[in-house]
Structure 1
Amino acid sequence: MSVSAFNRRWAAVILEALTRHGVQHVCIAPGSRSTPLTLAAAENRSLIHHTHFDERGLGHLALGLAKVSKQPVAVIVTSGTAVANLYPALIEAGLTGEKLILLTADRPPELIDCGANQAIRQPGMFASHPTQTLSLPRPSQDIPARWLVSTIDNALGQQHAGGVHINCPFAEPLYGELDDTGLGWQQQLGDWWQSDKPWLREDIQLESQQQRDWFFWRQKRGVVVAGRMSADEGKRVAEWAQTLGWPLISDVLSQTGQPLPCADLWLGNARAVAELAQAQIVVQLGSSLTGKRLLQWQQTCEPQEYWIIDNLTGRLDPAHHRGRRLVSSVDRWLEQHPAEKRTAWSTEIPRLSAQAWDAVAATREMFGEAQLAHRIRDYLPEQGQLFVGNSLVVRLIDSLGQLPAGYPVYSNRGASGIDGLISTAAGVQRASARPTLAIVGDLSALYDLNALSLLRQTSAPLVLIIVNNNGGQIFSLLPTPPDARERFYCMPQNIQFEHAAAMFGLRYHCPQSWEALETALDGAWRTPVATIIELVVNDTDGTHTLQQLLAQVSQL
């Protein structure tokens, strides 16, 4: 009996089972213990393969692929700390709903806790963050193939959102020719191999029922809050709110077109808050709200009912309002709860929003990150998509910009970390094959510098704008101690990224004006390669501009 051959047959069943649950993309890191999984994935013609030498980046690459494809994405890594590097992406997926399937190779049980090399306790190592955890036994012909495939099906059939961790121990030898060992075991599954359906199909649906009193609530004064949703959903929500005559407060990830732009500015105005207090119901569609003033208002508003609609489970309401937590896709919910044409009841907010926009527009000629956020609509590629990093850049676009309705926008706004942002953007581009504009800060780029290697493989133009304000200037907006702010919070690195671009063979520009930026972008969108554009700006200009605009709009 060949151990290596049976390992591969065992792994082939696992990989084939994944394809029956919609897995098309598999992300693979190098490793020896994962050889059975890697070779089984390589031989499966239903899979598209992606590789990366950095497991943390690999997990985020898978996250980006899952965001766009809306399908589960598999990740294969070897044993040891390679597994631990998937933790950040797994956590993010659990909070934002992407489906990841982590196939982690492991040493067999007799090599754990005895000093064997690269052997750690892997079962359960991700604690409560996976939606399902499956610790497989060492491959054995004494275990029926139908047990293995139905066990995989059972775990994936219950995956509503988030990650599934499947730990896969393999004994040595790991290498050798594939002989007939285990062929009969594999053939126990009969014509399953020729079908495209899971062995075990489970129908578990999590969806709230239609609210029968909606006809009553839609006649009231309401407010719509739009969080993260798809581009098509964003357009529909904007039309739905307009028909109802309810003001729409839109997050940067809502893709609604932000009909009342600069919400994070005008929500700091007392007259706007006073008018919103007249609302009898607030309907929030989608989670992951960005704006600080929006979150403050959401924390303190007291409508008669606060409804949250999202496909994710859980409360999703840090203010713990009295109301309803409805599990549904936004599209499905809008179909079940049509709007009734009514006259808009809010008059103060549209006026304040227009004035806030004019105040922002008056600063647009300055060359800085706040102005980039305001101008961003002008720089989006046609038929493309936008990936927005975290910290200051996403807040500036949310506060000062206005994105087109239905234009795809992606971000990692679950745990809101800066790790893996470039890797996620690479996955977003690969899954869609669209021209992609990604914007991150300088520390975020440093944190994921390895991911520049992923940008060497693009199927359409990708532009990565690195806004270099020399450190984490988001802390300039917070009451951090002034004498400790630079050293312990902002941590300026005093670097530029030209050599990093050269190291990975990527195009590079460092424009000093809007005209130079527009010229660089015009050239970048013409060729299906990646381009880094570094925008070097004065350290605190962006935060100062935002603070000045907040003060100005609050006094309107």
Structure 2
Amino acid sequence: MSNSSFNIRWSEVIIESLIRHQMKYICIAPGSRSTPLTVAATSNKKLCCYTHFDERGLGYFALGISKASCKPVGVIVTSGTAVANLYPSLIEAGLTGEKIIFLTADRPPELIDCGSSQSIRQTYIFASHPSQQLMLPRPTRDISAKWLVSAIDNCMNNLHHGAFHINCPFIEPLYGEIEGNYDWQQSLGNWWNSDVSWLTEIFVNNEFFANDWCIWNKKKGVVIVGRVTANDGKEITHWAQALGWPIIGDVLSQTGQPYPCANLWLEHPQAKKILKQVEIVIQFGSSLTGKQLINWQLSCNPKEYWIIDKIPQRLDPANHLGRKFTCFIKNWLDNHKPFYSNLWCEELLNIAQKTKFYIHNKLKNKLSEASIAYQLPELLPLNGQLFIGNSLIIRLIDAFAQLPIAYPVYSNSGAKGIDGLISTIAGIQVATNKPTLGIIGDLSALYDINSLILLRKPSAPIVLIIINNNGGQIFSTLSIVNKLKQDYYCMPQNVNFRHAAEMFGLEYFISNNWLDLKIKVQQFWCNQNKSLLLELVVNGDEGACTLKELVKEVIKL
């Protein structure tokens, strides 16, 4: 069998092995050295294949698919800097838990460090960031297909969260007629006709239970909810309400935030006094957004601080005395039934509701960065989903909006970077086929503008709101010289996105009236298979200043 044919046979085993671990989607960038992997993937009828010319965006596109589907997603790229472009999305997956399999084609060892074209040192290039790594040898008949499939299965069996990097060196020729000799593959026998993995690993399912829960569930507790799933957010809300404990829900909590605007009222003197009585804090999920909530998390001193999340990290920057339960949230809730009780801090709920009413009177029916954050729930599509970009806008939504309970909300909240946001939105929509509202900042849009092409032919309507506040206005409140702040932090670009929408074939809309904007978005949800880029031009630091001012005003309520 020729080298080109054996490269493909080797790749077919890799791809089929990954499919047995629920990999349904694979995202492919163009490249010569990755041809064996691309041919193997596109020839396998069990896979949905997608492409993008920008490897950085491709990695985030896969991240979005995995985020929404809760399944492993593959990525194929060629050798060289194409591999390095995957680094940001790989890091994000490690922090937020999505399972991404990065298949990177490589030159064989004899072509490294000798001036050969497009050859870099790729082995373990991602250092400690992947959860699993497999540095394969060049394809050779001297290694059995049983070893290859077992090695991949072993890594996938141990991939509980984050990225799996498989580095795949291939020797030339990479192209040619594919010969029909399957002898090397046939050592796997009937495995080819099954749908199970070659190597299965049995894990003992530890049931996480606190033996003293019957004592703690009668104490004065507070529930903090970070990034969790829609179903978990709903279950946590009902569970906490049964206990009579207040819920401080992050923008990504999907709890319905029954104590809205927490990042305003947490500074209220009476709220601080009430929260000093807390004996136990239970936190579900991580990646908290609001500054005031983070400050309270760091400063609170309960007798016990418990964290429940499937990600195997401490997730507690304050290092409280307490317990970390590394498990699925639903399993933990099922094992820790609430002790039904009345709300122990009625006044805290009154403060939250009073704050929400105050914000309503300040921001309702206006068109600004702060008001669009408050009124965002009115733009959400029925049976749809929301993606919120990082930077200032997510902080404003967290502070002002009250999102519906169990409504799917996504964000790249791990490393909290502004790269890859548009491509992540595209991936989320691909995985769910739901109407999708995305809202990001102007610098974020510029950072990933190539990925607007991924929104060209959606399976359901997409509305992408770009908040154009002319730069990184999250830095506008920094206490530094204004010229330095503008030139090196905010960095105003003085651009508009009309031509970008036209270039990538998207509809475009700009408005200076809230009612017109609302009508346009609500009508657009009736359109099929179209994307709308909606640009909202706002005064530079208005959003940041409004947030700062309202925190001060709420203290006096």
C-alpha contact 2:260 2:402 (8 A) present in aligned 1: yes
Identity of aligned residues (%): 56
Distance of 1:65 and 1:422 partners within structure 2: 12
Structure 2 residue matching 1:452: 3-state secondary structure: helix
Distance of 2:467 and 2:331 partners within structure 1: 38
Unpaired segments of 5 or more residues in structure 2? none
Q: Per-residue deviation at 1:270?
A: 2.1
Distance of 1:359 and 1:207 partners within structure 2: 47
Q: Indicate whether 1:77 and 2:96 are aligned.
A: no
C-alpha contact 1:24 1:47 (8 A) present in aligned 2: yes
Structure 1 partner of 2:30: 30
Q: Indicate whether 1:493 and 2:518 are aligned.
A: no
Distance of 2:215 and 2:45 partners within structure 1: 54
Distance of 1:457 and 1:42 partners within structure 2: 20
Structure 2 partner of 1:534: 535
C-alpha contact 2:381 2:522 (8 A) present in aligned 1: no
Within 5 Å, give how 1:251-330 maps onto structure 2: 251-330=250-329
Amino acid at match of 2:537: V
C-alpha contact 1:266 1:353 (8 A) present in aligned 2: yes
Structure 2 partner of 1:148: 148
- Aligned in 2, Cα 1:150/1:522: closer, same or farther, shift over 3 Å? same
Amino acid at match of 1:292: K
Structure 1 residue matching 2:434: 3-state secondary structure: coil
Amino acid at match of 1:386: L
Q: Per-residue deviation at 1:78?
A: 0.2
Q: Per-residue deviation at 1:179?
A: 0.5
Structure 1 partner of 2:451: 451
Structure 1 residue matching 2:71: 3-state secondary structure: coil
Distance of 2:207 and 2:422 partners within structure 1: 36
Structure 2 partner of 1:55: 55
Distance of 2:308 and 2:477 partners within structure 1: 31
Amino acid at match of 1:89: S
- Aligned in 2, Cα 1:480/1:161: closer, same or farther, shift over 3 Å? farther
Amino acid at match of 1:532: L
Structure 1 residue matching 2:122: 3-state secondary structure: coil
Amino acid at match of 2:27: C
Within 5 Å, give how 1:40-439 maps onto structure 2: 40-181=40-181, 183-204=182-203, 209-363=208-362, 364-439=364-439
TM-score, normalization: structure 2? 0.98
Amino acid at match of 1:260: Y
Structure 2 residue matching 1:102: 3-state secondary structure: strand
Structure 1 partner of 2:549: 548
Distance of 2:326 and 2:39 partners within structure 1: 39
- Aligned in 2, Cα 1:509/1:403: closer, same or farther, shift over 3 Å? same
Residues 88-132 of structure 1 deviation map (CA, whole Å, 9 limit, x = unaligned): 000000000000000000001110111100000001100000011
Structure 1 residue matching 2:83: 3-state secondary structure: helix
Distance of 1:188 and 1:480 partners within structure 2: 68
Q: Per-residue deviation at 1:273?
A: 1.5
Amino acid at match of 1:496: N
C-alpha contact 1:266 1:554 (8 A) present in aligned 2: yes
Distance of 1:481 and 1:320 partners within structure 2: 35
Higher alpha-carbon deviation: 475-484 or 281-290: 475-484
Q: Per-residue deviation at 1:356?
A: 1.1
C-alpha contact 1:463 1:530 (8 A) present in aligned 2: yes
Amino acid at match of 2:394: V
Calculate the aligned-residue CA RMSD, in Å: 1.0
C-alpha contact 1:390 1:413 (8 A) present in aligned 2: yes
Structure 1 residue matching 2:410: 3-state secondary structure: strand
Distance of 1:44 and 1:207 partners within structure 2: 37
C-alpha contact 2:379 2:522 (8 A) present in aligned 1: no
Structure 2 residue matching 1:184: 3-state secondary structure: coil
Distance of 1:550 and 1:366 partners within structure 2: 19
C-alpha contact 1:430 1:459 (8 A) present in aligned 2: yes
Q: Per-residue deviation at 1:180?
A: 3.0
Distance of 2:357 and 2:479 partners within structure 1: 29
Distance of 2:207 and 2:292 partners within structure 1: 30
TM-score, normalization: structure 1? 0.99
Distance of 2:111 and 2:457 partners within structure 1: 38
Q: Per-residue deviation at 1:510?
A: 0.4
Structure 1 partner of 2:522: 522
Q: Per-residue deviation at 1:520?
A: 1.7
Distance of 1:36 and 1:472 partners within structure 2: 43
Structure 1 partner of 2:505: 505
Q: Per-residue deviation at 1:205?
A: 5.6
Distance of 1:428 and 1:207 partners within structure 2: 32
Distance of 1:191 and 1:102 partners within structure 2: 28
Q: Per-residue deviation at 1:511?
A: 1.1
Q: Per-residue deviation at 1:207?
A: 5.1
Higher alpha-carbon deviation: 198-207 or 435-444: 198-207
Structure 1 partner of 2:475: 475
Distance of 2:254 and 2:329 partners within structure 1: 13
Residues 326-357 of structure 1 deviation map (CA, whole Å, 9 limit, x = unaligned): 11111111101011110111123111111211
Distance of 1:167 and 1:31 partners within structure 2: 15
Amino acid at match of 1:43: S
Q: Per-residue deviation at 1:482?
A: 2.6
Distance of 2:481 and 2:300 partners within structure 1: 31
C-alpha contact 1:157 1:204 (8 A) present in aligned 2: no
Q: Per-residue deviation at 1:208?
A: 5.8
C-alpha contact 2:423 2:448 (8 A) present in aligned 1: yes
- Aligned in 2, Cα 1:20/1:207: closer, same or farther, shift over 3 Å? same
C-alpha contact 2:378 2:518 (8 A) present in aligned 1: no
Structure 2 residue matching 1:140: 3-state secondary structure: coil
How many residues end up aligned between the 2 structures? 555
Higher alpha-carbon deviation: 491-500 or 205-214: 205-214
Distance of 1:325 and 1:51 partners within structure 2: 40
Q: Per-residue deviation at 1:206?
A: 7.2
